[in-house]
Amino acid sequence: MERLSSKERVMAALNHQEPDRIPINYMANSGIDARLKRHYGIASHDDESLLNRLHVDMREVSIPYIGPVLHAPRPERAIDPAWGITKRWIAHESGGYWDYCDFPLASLDEELIESWKMPDPDDYDYDSLDEQLSIWDGKAICIGNPGLGDIMNTTGMLCGMEQVYLAMAMMDENWLRLVDRRLDIQLEVTRRALEGASSPIDYMWLGEDLGAQSGALISLDTYRTIIRPRHQKFIDLAGSFGIPVMIHSCGSSSWAFEDFIEMGISAVDTLQPEAKDMSPSYLKNRFGNRLSFHGGFSTAGKVVDGSIEEVLQELQDLLSVMMPRGGYLFSPTHMLQDNSSLENVVAVYEELPILGRY
């Protein structure tokens, strides 16, 4: 088969076609990312060289916030200056992570939610898009990530997840106002970015975690009442620019896939194989001719503690199910973690261009 560009390869997969090889993506936390860069002799700040070394086909544009600091820093806390989301560092035996804390809107007080400082769409650096796009010629460009359009997780960062679930069950108007204030800003920033980009952006990436390991986090009725109509605005925006939409969900989320299809979503991430009704064979057999899939390589599997032979067998098993008839884009299910074996990660990305050929 003729060699395709990264852009052509990704777009073929999103359109349920077989490209020359599967598209490849990479997601990792800072610990394993730093080890990979040292392994390949790449500078710690040089993300692009690592992506190229790992044969990664996709790139995400960012629209940096350049407005005033709306939420001041505090000792021992990492505070988002635009949104006020607060995190603290949690160390563990293989590294650590930033965890959400303090939850300044936990009271869901109407006055507090209305007065909570949020960024103005004018205060984003849309001019930086052209500089980013200029270095990614031939790559598949996406706008967004699992945080775009996300409702439950992101409001949970401000008010706590217990409050989110109670608010959804009770249709709390103050919480819904918090949701809509944030999403209206995101939608407008995304619209301006799509309009202002000098070269086309190829697809949009939305997110919403809908599942636990054993089943749904919310009812289908709640999904259709609260989340679906708000996500539809983003999908319609993408449609107005003629680009497909991929949506992220952790856990058991295939119960919502028929709705995804009705809404016009083209692809689903992250395919957590350990969760209920999320095995590669189940998804491919039931939805493979209507949805493309991104993910499926378990970050809790053999990549952590298996041998190279075991992790490559796990990879081959995944590809044997997901590659036929196209519509598959390789990615870890979540970010590769600190406890991932460096040798296993290297082996996977070295073999992918060979094992993923059509």
Q: What is the pTM of this model?
A: 0.96
Q: Where are the domains of the chain?
A: 6-70+109-355
| pLDDT score, position 92 | 87
Query: Which DSSP string do the residues of 225-280 spell out, in sequence order?
Result: IIIHHHHHHHHHHHHHTT--EEEE--SS-GGGHHHHHHHT--EEEE--TTSTT--H
| pLDDT score, position 184 | 98
| pLDDT score, position 271 | 92
| pLDDT score, position 336 | 97
Backbone angles phi, psi at 194, to 5 degrees: -65, -40
| pLDDT score, position 53 | 98
> What's the rounded Cα separation, in Å, for the pair 187 and 339?
36
Q: Which residues of the chain have pLDDT under 50?
A: none
Residue 92's Cβ-count burial label (10 Å; 0-12, 13-18, 19+) is exposed
Task: Give residues with Cβ within 8 angstroms of 173, minimum separation 6.
Answer: 110
Please state which architecture CATH assigns to domain 6-70+109-355.
Alpha-Beta Barrel (3.20)
| pLDDT score, position 197 | 94
Torsion of CA 194, 248, 256, 164, to 10 degrees: -100
> What's the rounded Cα separation, in Å, for the pair 289 and 12?
14
109 and 57 in contact (C-beta within 8 Å)?
no
Neighbouring-strand partners of residue 18: none
Residue 262's Cβ-count burial label (10 Å; 0-12, 13-18, 19+) is exposed
Query: Which pLDDT tens digit goes with each residue over 36-57?
Result: 999 999 999 999 999 999 999 9
Query: Which pLDDT tens digit goes with each residue over 302-347?
Result: 999 999 999 999 999 999 999 999 999 999 999 999 999 999 999 9
155 and 178 in contact (C-beta within 8 Å)?
yes
> What's the rounded Cα separation, in Å, for the pair 168 and 213?
20
- Residue 257 structure tokens: 């896939």
| pLDDT score, position 94 | 77
